[in-house]
Amino acid sequence: MASPSYTGLPAKHKAITDAARRVFLEHGYTHTSVDAIAAEAGVSKQTIYNHFGDKAHLFRAVMHATVAETGAGMGPPPGDDLAESDDLDRDLRRFGRQLARGVLAPDIAAIRRVLIAELDRHPELIEEWGTQGRELHRMLATAFARLNERGVVDVPDPMLAAQQLVLLTAGNAMTISRFGTDTPPSDALDKAVDDGVELWLRAYAVRPTER
């Protein structure tokens, strides 16, 4: 089924997604009904269908809205700032720290738990969630290819290097937080990220004497 065009007042659209997030996070995807979301949002079931089409599209809207509203899960877009960095160590640490805090944002962690619980029944939902990470990897790979051209790094496979950086920053954050169930102290989180960035730079950074 194609995703519906989201018509209607933006305020009502947001009210529905906010209500749906509360219900989904409390009851999970399978055990949440459109009737329950409609009651939570104070709208009719038909209004939800008019805005979102069905429960699956509504859950997808909740996922994307949560990422957008928290600025989480993906961190800041690397883009040209990273590609043209004049202090890669500094900028990678800043990027990694923001990314790590993003993946540990409470609503992001809660949605991730829902997705894991629904993996056997609804694998398509976690596949949709994964599109965010794939786009981040793509942007990082583009930035690393540019840094490689500039002679700042020696990265034979930019996509692999992008995946490794995410694992060494966001992945480390997930590990020390027990996959988002604990909130590590800020200094411990920063150290986990910095250690990951340092390891990445040892593998790929070109020392000034080598340029």
pLDDT band at 7 (very low <50, low <70, confident <90, very high): very low
pLDDT band at 9 (very low <50, low <70, confident <90, very high): low
Q: Is 205 helix (H, G, I), strand (E, B) or coil?
A: strand
Residue 107 has pLDDT above 70, yes or no: yes
Nearest to 200 by CA among 166, 171, 176: 166
Q: What is the mean pLDDT of residues 128-138?
A: 82
Nearest to 207 by CA among 168, 163, 164, 151: 151
Give residue limits of the domains in the chain: 10-68, 73-210
pLDDT band at 112 (very low <50, low <70, confident <90, very high): confident
CATH number 1.10.1670.40 is the correct assignment for the domain at 73-210: no
CATH superfamily of 10-68: Homeodomain-like (1.10.10.60)
pTM of the model: 0.75
